Amino acid sequence: MSLTGKVAIVTGAVRGMGRAIARRLCEDGASVFAVGRTGEEAPDVVDLLSTLGECTAFYCDLATPDQAEQVTRECLKRYGRVDIVCNNAATVGDRRPIHEQGAQSWHHILQVNLISPFLICKAAIADMLSRGVAGRIVNIASIQASMPLPHYAPYAASKGGLISFTKSLAIEYASRGIISNAIDVGCVLSEGMEEALKSAHADPRVDETGARTGAATLNGRFGLPAEIASLVRFLVSEENSHVVGAVIRADGGRSISRQRDPY
């Protein structure tokens, strides 16, 4: 399933799932336009990816519409095309009861988690259509869209919107060769999850596999970034032409587990 000759935009590519996704696509031959957040520059990550394949780093603030619009534009300047988009970047925001939340916080979270994927996809799809080529879009959603935790209302709402947006993309563009899907992730052991768990006063113990003990999953552990990357890898490949507009749940069975959520 070589991706040689393909150009992929991956947002949130500096850490966790995004880094694993960018690495996997690089390894399989894609030229990766790795988008990170301004202030989180990580030349070591880019150097690593560059040893595996072609990679260009671009840092911006996806909370700013003008900068989000630059992502696809800069990718086109660098590579002249976009074939794959993986919208992985996200922010949780402050965990507060709804009555203590402000409109500014909602706007910020929706901009990063929902509006920036729209802006990136809008420009990428225009390029795909102009060249008459098949394209692939994968949006990283969350099981919180359907089973939100307390104090995560704007995050859960943004991920629910991202799922609906993914389905709209599929309805409008699948017939023209642009296939869109979403991955509904549960708890994945990444830097972001580490921070969320610490802020939620969760048990910090980690077993030898790198998965936290006590996670409310049927397989008894959190997911790993490489597992999500492998799923993305299939969805963006030419071997996938029939999984369209799907929301694939990758949560270790947590959504059907009867165990109490540990945090």
* Model confidence pLDDT, tens digit, residues 61-99: 999 999 999 999 999 999 999 999 999 999 998 889 999
The C-alpha atoms of residue 102 and residue 181 are separated, in whole angstroms, by 31
Which distant-in-sequence residues (6+ apart) come within 8 Å of 176 by Cβ? 129
- State the CATH number of the domain containing residue 221: 3.40.50.720
For 163, phi then psi, to 5°, come to -65, -45
pLDDT at 19: 94
pLDDT at 51: 84
* Model confidence pLDDT, tens digit, residues 198-250: 665 554 444 433 344 445 788 888 889 999 999 999 999 999 999 999 999 98
* Model confidence pLDDT, tens digit, residues 107-129: 999 999 999 999 999 999 999 99
On whether residue 2 sits in a domain, the answer given is: no
On whether residue 262 sits in a domain, the answer given is: no
155 catalytic, yes or no? yes
On whether residue 53 sits in a domain, the answer given is: yes
Number of domains in the chain: 1
Bridge-based pairing of strands 135-142 and 7-11 is unpaired
pLDDT at 48: 80
Which of 59, 79, 152, 155 is catalytic? The answer is: 155
